[in-house]
Structures are given as structure tokens and as C-alpha cells.
Structure 1
Amino acid sequence: MISEFQELSDKIDQLAEMSLALRRENAQLRQANAALVADNMACQRRLAEAHARVSALLGKIPAIEGAAAAAPAQEDVQ
């Protein structure tokens, strides 16, 4: 009977240790997740900024093409 109580006590101790270990691991995973979320948001912001710059450059291309098309015509006249 005493050995059964001792086994039960040992299992409860193991369960308590595992519970503490899982709580620590959970806290670490939450911190890692928060860091990854922040990194993801920074990457999304940089991607949006790059998209805006590329869109602005693409918006300028027709004006450059029009000026380039006029330049060869002027060279032919000379």
C-alpha cells in the first residue's frame, strides 16, 4: 500500500515537473512568436514601401519613353 502511494507521489512530482517545463517552453514560444510577428510586420512594411517606389517608377516610364521617342526624331532633322 505504501509503495502505491510512493508511486503515485512520484508520478505527481513528474507531472508537476513536466507542467513547469511546458510552461517555460510555452513562454519561450510566445516570445519567439512575438519576435516573428514583429519581424513579419517590418518585412510587410518594407515590401509595401518597395511596391510604392516601383509603382512610382513605373508611373514615370511613359514620360521617359515619350521624351526618348522625341529625341531620335530631332536627330533625324539635323
Structure 2
Amino acid sequence: MISEFQLLTQKIGKLAALAQRLRSENAQLRLEVAQLRSQNQEQAQRMQQAQERVMQLIDKLPPPPPLDQPAEEECA
């Protein structure tokens, strides 16, 4: 009977240690998730800014020649 209580006590101790370790791991993972979300948001903003710059450059390009007329280089 005493050995059963000792075994139970050991199992409870292991379970408590495992629970504490899992709490610590969970806290660390929450921090990592927060950091990754922040990085993701920053990258999304950078992508949006890059897209806006590309669209501005595209708007500055001259219009293409009409399809029924040859390009100037072909005429020469």
C-alpha cells in the first residue's frame, strides 16, 4: 500500500513537472507567434508600398503603339 502511494506521488510529481514545462513552452510559443505576426504585418506593408511604387512606374510608361500600325523601330 505504501509503495502504491509512493508510485502515485512520483507520477503526480512527473505530471506537475510536465505541466510546468508545457506552460513555459506555451508562453514561449505565444511570444514567437506575436513576433511572427508583427513581422508578417511589416512585410505586408512593405509589399503594399512596393506594389504602389510599381503601379506609379507603370503609370509613367508611354502608351503602347496601336496594334494596326508598326512600331517606329520597324519603320526605319
TM-score, structure 2 length as denominator?
0.81
What does residue 59 of structure 1 align with?
59
Matched pairs, number: 66
CA distance in 2, matches of 1:4, 1:55: 74
Amino acid in structure 2 at the alignment position of 1:40: N
CA RMSD between the two structures: 1.6
What does residue 48 of structure 2 align with?
48
TM-score, structure 1 length as denominator?
0.79
1:22 deviation in Å? 0.2
Flag structure 1 segments of 5+ consecutive residues without an equivalent: 67-71, 73-78
1:61 deviation in Å? 0.3
What does residue 15 of structure 1 align with?
15
Amino acid in structure 2 at the alignment position of 1:54: V
Identity across matched positions, percent: 44
CA distance in 1, matches of 2:19, 2:62: 65
- Runs of 4+ displaced beyond 2 Å: none
Flag structure 2 segments of 5+ consecutive residues without an equivalent: 66-71
Does the alignment pair 1:5 with 2:23?
A: no
1:62 deviation in Å? 2.0
Indicate the structure with greater helix content.
1
Q: Secondary structure at the match of 2:62?
A: helix
Cα distance per residue 1:24-74 (max 9 Å; x no partner)? 0000000001000000000000000000000010011026x78xxxxx8xx
